[in-house]
A and B are shown apart, each in its own frame.
Chain A
Amino acid sequence: MVLCIAEGAKAMVPQKRPRLGSKSGAALVPDEGLSDAERMILEAIRSKENMGIWTFDLKKLTNLPRGVFDKALRLLQQKGLIKCVVSIHNKSRKMYVAREFEPAKEISGGTWYSQGSLNQEFISDVRSKCLAQVTRLRIATIEDVWKGIQMSRDSKADFTLQQIKEIVQAMVLDKELEEVKSTGDGDFSAVPAGRPCYRRFERRAPIAGALSAIPCGVCPRISECTPDGVISPNTCIYFTKWLELDF
């Protein structure tokens, strides 16, 4: 069985920071007792550092017979010297990275990805943490949210300010939070005037979009619909359904 990183519980915890180009790390890995084929493959994988290498390219590079190659690759994994990463660009592609390197964001997708896909469960967990902080503080700067999460007891994970910023900005896009500039007054008195801060996005009534409330606003055929055409309001089935026209 191929062992992939970021599986199971591991996926819930932010990954280690990549040790970019840490050649010295490579020396720490004991690779005595490896066959020539294993050593050749390991060297090829190590040379790609945190970017990893695709099985196909690896095979081409080492030019080993198929049976030897497959066996050596399997053994390297079993010994824990290399790990398999699912690429976010192509989930069917197996990429290999040497144990001492943290896969690059370009390959694994970074903190928010697991097995080549967005880790929705993890993301929504961090989102609720951010929302809880903003709710508690009413008005909060990004630093307030970050510090609040880091200090909260239930938070086992160690987030960077940048990671929290990414989540908060996505929440602003979804209108869960609202970004406002502090006026320095009233509710904002704790934040210097002009500084951007966040509060819960609240709306008393749902947005009633006039265009989206009628069939034509969401109609996929609108560009073909004309007053006397084959598709026209006079014969439109979407209108018939909407208006419950049974006469």
Chain B
Amino acid sequence: MVGQNGLKLAVHLITAHLGDLVAKVCSCLLHRGALSLQEVVRFTKLSISQAKNCLLVLIQHNCVQAFSVLLPGSTTKTMTQYIALFDNILHRMRFPKFLMVVKYDLGHEGEVLLEGLLQNGRLTFDQLVERTLSKTTEASASIREEMRANFNNLVHSHYVERCPKPEPFVGPDSEDQSTFARKRRAKTVPILSLEQQVMVAATLSNGERFSEISNGGKMTVDTVVADHHVATFSGEKRKFEALEMDQELQSAITENEVLWRANYEKFIQCLKKKACVLNVRSRLGLDASTILEAMIETIDQENVENKNTVFASMGSIIERVREKPGGISMTLEHVRTILVDQLLCHSSTEDTNTWYTIDLNDIIENSQNEEVETFIRARYGLEAYRIFRLLIKCGHPVETEQIVEITFIEKKNAQEILYKLWKDEYLEMEKVVMHGSGQTQLFLWKLNKRVLREHIIDDMYHASLNLSQKISQIAQQQREVSPHGDKKYQRVKYILQSSLYKLDDALMLFQFL
């Protein structure tokens, strides 16, 4: 569940990027969940055409997904609904980072193409070519060829994907399943939110998603066929008009040509891995981070998505390490020592080759803990930090006396700290009454990792929102007072921007573990 601050941040981003009207529709969907066009009109009090246009803009920028569901009480007739994609909205503040990833991997050419897609949300390859041609005087044929190769590189590396189905059908929770079957499924498969269900239904198969463009601009697979049931018309005039309106909107979004967009998932994976390397660098030094980076690259080569366990042979690690700055001077023994003693990799031997395994989730979890701990230390002091670390480590409720004993903190101070942390909802407390010779009241304290994570994420959303709001205010002041740029404003904007970037790096590690 996204907290209020997350929703406010999402609306702020849409307002800043796409304007007030679009933000109004987006806010309505974010707060109320999936809605039909008529409902959007009713809640926002916009005209039909305004609401429709706003939805189109949001769909174009991958912030909203349309889907169809059965009309209540019907087994065949469907209606279109729209749902806001919260994560995609937030990714908008990460675009500069996405561009850096591609620039580092595929150079300026890849960056320019991706920039076109990020700015426009969704484009056909033809539109991308046109966009570039309008800015250059070079011969179009040679540019087109070059662009196709670069574009295919982007697709091959999974940085760009074909857009999902425009309006997938999302069925009701299968009623045909027995309670027993549903219970069994619930145990093994996590229950998906509606947003997740829609995303799953809209996603194309991997083959389709990343099929490159063959010569002549034709796709290697057929164009998308929307997996949706066309409504059959009957009955009342009002219903007929409603459906006609949706069809009109839908025909606008269901393009015949193949639309492409940035694959956010891939970028998040890349940024997550980069964050792991950075964390290791600041903790263990440059050599350890170079070796980890080399390990990660060995699996990236195979284009393994969402793989958090890295498994690499010494041979391939050494090969990659040697290609890196400073890597040539590292001896085999040095690399081995770092893998075992510092990165704490598990090793196994297979056919004379030694394999090393590292779980990136451990590094991410470590980064998360460090972030929370420094936050607690800065806000509540060193003793609170010690208590906090104890409760993270324990994972079960701990009684006040025990906390005092283990942490070497005076009881009165410990009680005050625990109360403050509990009041601010970072800890959970349980009162236990013991009946012995007399009646004693014991207080047990526990850190619920899930609740804590949600709380920290919400704090981060709030802080990001505040930084963004301040950036907008400074930009506004600059426009009014010094339209030609003033170093003072530049400095302040730089501090705010870089703090926001760093905060978002931390946020990503919490959001997408």
Residues of A within 8 A of B (CB): 88-89, 112, 117-118, 123, 166, 169-170, 173-175, 180, 183, 185-188, 203-205, 207-214, 216-218, 222, 225, 227, 232-234, 236, 239, 242-243, 245, 247
Q: Which residues of B sit under 8 angstroms from A174, Cβ to Cβ?
A: 386
Q: Which residues of B contact A217 (CB under 8 A)?
A: 375, 378-379, 459, 463
The CA of A201 and the CA of B330, in the complex, are separated in Å by 24
Contact with A along B248-279 (1 / 0, CB 8 A): 00000000000000000000000000000000
Contact of B408 among A118, A234, A239 (CB under 8 A): A118
For A212, what are the chain B residues with a Cβ–Cβ distance below 8 Å? 374-375, 377-379
**Interface pair B506/A239, CB less than 8 Å apart:** no
CB distance from A11 to the nearest CB of B (A): 15
Chain B contact residues: over half helix, strand or loop, or mixed?
helix
Inter-chain contact A170/B386, CB cutoff 8 Å: yes
- Report whether A234 and B473 are in contact in the complex, using a CB–CB cutoff of 8 Å: yes
A214-B375 contact, Cβ under 8 Å, with A174-B386, A203-B283:
no
Q: List 16 A-B contacts (CB under 8 A).
A: A188-B340, A209-B371, A209-B373, A209-B375, A209-B506, A210-B371, A210-B503, A212-B374, A214-B503, A216-B462, A217-B459, A217-B463, A218-B379, A233-B470, A243-B495, A243-B496
Number of interface residues of B (CB under 8 A): 55
Query: Closest CB-CB distance, B358 to chain A, in whole Å?
Result: 12
Instruction: Name which of A117, A212, A242 has the most chain B CB atoms within 10 A of its CB.
Output: A212
Question: Which one of B341, B346, B386 lies within 8 Å of A188 (CB-CB)?
Answer: B341
Which residues of chain A come closer than 8 Å to B406, judged between CB atoms? 166, 169-170, 173
Q: A217-B379, A243-B495 are in contact. Are A117 and B410 (CB under 8 A)?
A: yes
Q: Which of B467-495 contact A (CB under 8 A)?
A: 467, 469-470, 473, 481, 488, 492, 495
Q: Complex: how many Å from CA A212 to CA B470?
A: 18
A180 to chain B: closest residue by CB: B344
A198 to chain B, nearest CB (A): 14
| A170 x B462 contact (CB < 8 A) | no
B505 within 8 A of A: yes
Complex contact B502–A118 (CB within 8 A): no
B429 to chain A, nearest CB (A): 19
CA distance A123 to B409 in the complex (A): 12
Is B337's CB within 8 Å of the partner chain A? yes
A216's closest neighbor in chain B, by CB?
B463
State the Cβ distance, A214 to closest chain B Cβ, in Å: 5
A239 to chain B, nearest CB (A): 6
B284 at the interface (CB under 8 A from A): yes
| Contact residue among A180, A205, A247 (Cβ-Cβ distance under 8 Å from B282) | A205
Check A218/B378 contact, CB under 8 A, given A170-B386, A210-B505: yes
